[in-house]
Amino acid sequence: MELTKNQIHKVEQYLKHKNFDFVDLKIEVLDHIISDIEMKMSKSFSFENAFKMTVLKWNKHFKETSSFFFGMMYSNSKIVVKKAVKLFKPFYFLYLLAYILPAAFFKLFPISFSASTVDFINGFLHSFSIVMIAYVCFIYIKTRMSKIKTTYRFILSTQYFGLILLIMGVSVGVFNEDGLLNPVFTGFVCGGYAVVYICHYFYKKHIEEVQKYKIQ
């Protein structure tokens, strides 16, 4: 039994009441809830009773929750966090490897550079890092100015703080007085660049979702 327009509107109001306005999930969730109601109505339940039973089932999915992958300070509905973790998990390990591998390598195999090479590398890192930091700031401003929510935007909001690694690494410097690469701060810089890449990737995915649903 298919729902009427008024009945579908009531389901949409339920989602609105839950502040569930993530464009990449809303249609899918709406379809699932409607299907659940229609299935119950096919078993002779009235719409009102079917709606109440379905709401009881779905309420738990809209409860605020957090994840180890994003930290306790970042929370959202269970549906959003579950999808976000699935999308972000590979990038979490990329981020860890970007820090751990360079730090471990230069700890085990110290490499010394001449003074001129150190100056060149430092100059390049400072210039490149300023561009990368400015790019992430651009992403932050663009997403903050927009009211459109996606799971990708939620992931982005959890990543900006990681840029502090790049700022610390470049500010302190990746070389010590002997021209050796400092394993810790080299790891910070590499980890910071990984954060920039992650922000770039999820910003592109956010824009794709916005364009997919033709939202201005």
CA distance 92 to 7: 42
Mean pLDDT of 128-146: 95
Q: What is the pLDDT of residue 216?
A: 46
Tokens 């390598």 locate to 105
Share of the chain above pLDDT 90, in %: 87
Of 55, 38, 57, which Cα lies nearest the Cα of 46?
38
CA distance 140 to 160: 8
Neighbour-count burial of 148, counting CB atoms closer than 10 A to its CB (0-12 exposed, 13-18 middle, 19+ buried): middle
pLDDT category of residue 215 using cuts at 50, 70 and 90: low
Q: What is the pLDDT of residue 64?
A: 94
Q: What is the pLDDT of residue 212?
A: 84
Domain boundaries of the chain, sorted by first residue: 5-62, 65-212
Looking at residue 121, its amino acid is I
Under 8 Å between Cβ of 175 and 113? yes
- The predicted-structure confidence for 110-135, as pLDDT tens digits, reads as follows 988 999 999 999 999 999 999 999 99
Q: What is the pLDDT of residue 146?
A: 86
